[in-house]
Amino acid sequence: MKKESGATLPVWMNHVQLPATKMLGENITCDVCVVGAGIAGLTTAYLLAKEGKRVVVLESKEIGGGETSRTTAHLSNALDEQYYNLIKLFGKDGARLACQSHGKAIDKIEEIAAEESIDCDFTRVDGFLFATSAEEQEKLMQELEALQQIGWQDVVMRKHCPVDTLTAFPCLHYPNQARFHVMKYLSGLAKAVIDNGGSIYTGTHVKSFKSGAVATVVSANGHSVSSNHLVVATNTPVNDMLTIHTKQAPYRTYALAVQVPKDAVADALYWDMKDPYHYIRLQKDTANEAQYDLLIVGGEDHKTGQHDHPIECFQELERWTRLKFPMAEEVQYRWSGQVYEPVDGLAYIGRNPGDEENVYIATGDSGHGMTHGTIAGMLITDLIIERPNPWAKLYDPSRVSLKSAGEFLKENLNVAAQMKDYVTPGDVEDPSQVLPGTGRIMRKGTSKIAVYCDQDGVRHQCSAVCPHMGCVVSWNSVESSWDCPCHGSRFDPQGKVISGPSTKNLGPAS
């Protein structure tokens, strides 16, 4: 693995043996088809298999090969949106349910790991939200008051942060948070799905969906899965053209794993209050008795496809890390990931709006993909089994809140603004101007063309128009990908789709 490349898989993928799987090679039927083998998909598959359902999981990459493998694996019910905001949007009861559901998700991960004997480094730790200014200190007080209103009395204000180089201001101390090695967990979870009668097919890209009393999905190689229930857990729905995509926005987020002397940083979760904020935790080497820990630091988020020089995000993140953690040594890993921010701060989990009753989605994870994904497994299982679930209304994908209308309008105006790319000049006027290892947009008459030059100097051209909703993609020099600035579809240098909402490749140059 190349330590310096953001395009390689991060630390979580190292030395993790995944269960053997294969590509779908036949037409099959089942009780439940789950599309996506990340934490939401596999948790759903596991819990349903335990209920006796025949479950089939389809994944276009490998197990965890989407955004789950790119998480920093914080397990927390100290939510990014802040509870004083959630109270405004959902009331005290809604905010309390949000808190409880994420807490229950942490418990469920711990329970599954114990029940299935999954050695995934699960560890309970404290969490600390720290202020760096008098204004932020006031917001800490506001948050503490909100937490008391919803009954979370265990959170207290501390005068000093456990890492004194982070801040001289106070912090909120959240007990009973956790961290884990997500790929070790996912490997064990996948094995448990198979042991309980489920099937997992990797390298199987779904190209089309057909709703009905029996839902059918068709793979790129022409094979189908027909099921009584369909669950789409692909970070953002690939079976929905518009509805959900107007209610959430794609962001790139960046992470570093930096070597620090063993025990030099207190083992906990840390978050600041900036916008975008920074999030920090440790990864302990429990197997090799290493003399150092990995300090994992994330942040510098921006709208997908809307940063001309994303390498600057890594540079700024490293600068901030060395400022706040003077003991930081060599950067071991760099990677980036994609999160979807819902307009009202909570995920969309449940029946797909405007679809048949037997089609479910899980999306809008924000900065809490591991707990939101686990909530998805628990909630969707209850919906399919027809059990009452106290969180169903809170996470209902069809919910509409007038209180979040401002954020909804802002994000959709941003999408509309991207259409200006149709009338702007290209980055280059001729393919020969595109240097090896890079991509540029070129205007060709009324069309926009995506030009990629490989390391051998061969130039490849395809349409620069995203098949999802027609926005013009931009080159991501960190991931070597074409990214859609509207709804976050991503494509490899030659235009093959990496992640949705598009299920199609970029078209031919014209």
We report the CATH number of the domain holding residue 157 as 3.30.9.10
What are the percentages of helix, strand and coil residues in the chain, rounded to 5?
Answer: 30, 30, 45
Domain end among 320, 338, 356: 338
In a domain, 445, yes or no: yes
State how far the Cα of 80 lies from the Cα of 347, in Å rounded to an integer. Answer: 12
In a domain, 233, yes or no: no
Which tokens hold the place of 64?
Answer: 């965890």
Mark whether 274 and 142 lie in a shared domain.
yes
In a domain, 166, yes or no: yes
State how far the Cα of 76 lies from the Cα of 173, in Å rounded to an integer. Answer: 12
Domain end among 295, 312, 338: 338
Cα 368–280–136 angle (5° rounding)?
85
State how far the Cα of 46 lies from the Cα of 18, in Å rounded to an integer. Answer: 16
Please choose, from the candidates 348, 30, 72, the residue with its C-alpha nearest in 3D space to the C-alpha of residue 199.
Answer: 30
State how far the Cα of 508 lies from the Cα of 501, in Å rounded to an integer. Answer: 19
For position 448, which CATH number holds?
2.102.10.10
Domain assignment of residue 132, given as a range:
122-178+251-338
Please choose, from the candidates 240, 243, 238, 227, the residue with its C-alpha nearest in 3D space to the C-alpha of residue 45.
Answer: 227
Residues 173, 174, 180, 182: is their CA dihedral positive or negative?
negative
Q: Return averaged pLDDT per consecutive 10 residues of the chain, 510 residues in all.
A: 42 75 95 97 98 97 90 92 94 97 98 97 96 96 97 95 95 97 95 97 94 95 97 88 81 94 94 92 75 92 88 95 96 92 92 94 91 97 97 94 54 53 70 88 86 91 89 90 90 90 88
pLDDT of residue 503: 84
Mark whether 256 and 147 lie in a shared domain.
yes
